[in-house]
Amino acid sequence: MWKEELAVFDRKRKLVCILLLERLFCLASLRAKLLPEGETPPLWQAVFCYPRGWVNTGSPHEEEVSVLFQQVVQTDEAIRKPDPIPVSSEDERNALLQLESAILANKATKSDLQMKELNFEKDDDSNGHIDFITAASNLRAKMYNIEPADRLKTKRIAGKIIPAIGTSTAAVSGLVALELIKVVGVCPFQAYKNCFFNLAIPIIVFTETAAVRKTEIRNGISFTIWDRWTIHGKDNFTLLDFINTVKEKYGIEPIMVVQGVKMLYVPVMPGHVKRLKLTMQKLVKPVVNKKYVDLTVSFAPEIDGEEDLPGPPVRYYFAHENN
């Protein structure tokens, strides 16, 4: 039984995809409501440069889709879910070829296939703006099982939308540019400011920035959320070499190395001490064309029994930059 149900479901899925694509290109619903039989809406002529007199002959799949959706699929909870089987994509390829042929039949040139800017006007029923928004939004609503809206409701919602004014964007852009100038000029920390403003009141408030919080590891070694340590290796670079390099470069020896959820080195884990002689490329298994991997390290606490001390992320490069 499940094979027949799967076939019906697959046929529904393919036909619905074909029907939606055809309706996006033809807008049969707008044609039936607003225009003479077969004539293309003026909005689509303006935006997509359809030639005048282009006729939509409808979809040959509408009746078949309607019949399929009237069928009731019988289910049996006792039946085990079958293993997934490959489904041929021949129908999808045929549908794309049909759409491509339909587009090429219009004989549109490259200059015709350019988007054009239109001024939205909701009160002019002859331009098709509200009709397009209604059709497009209802197609999306149908896909996500959202209650569709009629033309009047769409028009009412569109009339309540308050456009964003350019002054706020200009103010934010200018304030950000000022801070970037301070960064380039290596200004002292006290020169940087936060800004809170509301141009409708209007009110503009500048505040001093707070220093980034530092996490102390030990012996004066600390890091912030902006810090990242880097280690450059080579082909025969072992895990022990990595640990020793971190100790020499940053003055503290890591006792644990983790890559995501994979534990590369935890001394208390059985067999992990033997990993010290393995190369980093064998432990990490780098992705093709990726030059580095981000690792997480931790350090031994000053007092036994306490939790391990966290460290900043360590970016390990598989080779030196000049290589």
pLDDT the model gives residue 255: 87
**Residue 116 identity (one-letter amino acid):** K
Residue 203 has pLDDT above 50, yes or no: yes
Q: What percent of the chain has pLDDT over 90?
A: 24
| H or E, element range at 206 | strand 203-208
Question: Which residues lie closer than 8 Å to 321 by C-beta, 6 or more apart?
Answer: 232
Set out the domains of the chain in order of their start, with CATH numbers.
125-163 (no CATH), 166-208 (no CATH), 214-317 (3.10.290.60)
**pLDDT per residue over 266-310, tens digit each?**
888 888 888 899 988 888 887 777 889 999 998 888 777 678 888
Most confidently modeled range among 3-7, 50-54, 222-226: 222-226
Q: Which residue has the higher pLDDT, 234 or 90?
A: 234
Per-residue pLDDT of 14-41, as tens digits, reads 555 555 555 555 544 444 444 455 454 5
Q: What is the pLDDT of residues 228-243, one digit of tens each?
A: 999 998 888 999 999 9
pLDDT of residue 207: 94
Residue 73 confidence (pLDDT): 56
Return the half-sphere exposure (C-beta side, CA atoms, 13 A cut-off) of residue 222. Answer: 7
What stretch of H or E contains 243?
helix 239-250
What average pLDDT does the structure give for the chain?
Answer: 77
State the number of CA atoms in the 13 A half-sphere of 208 facing the CB. Answer: 6
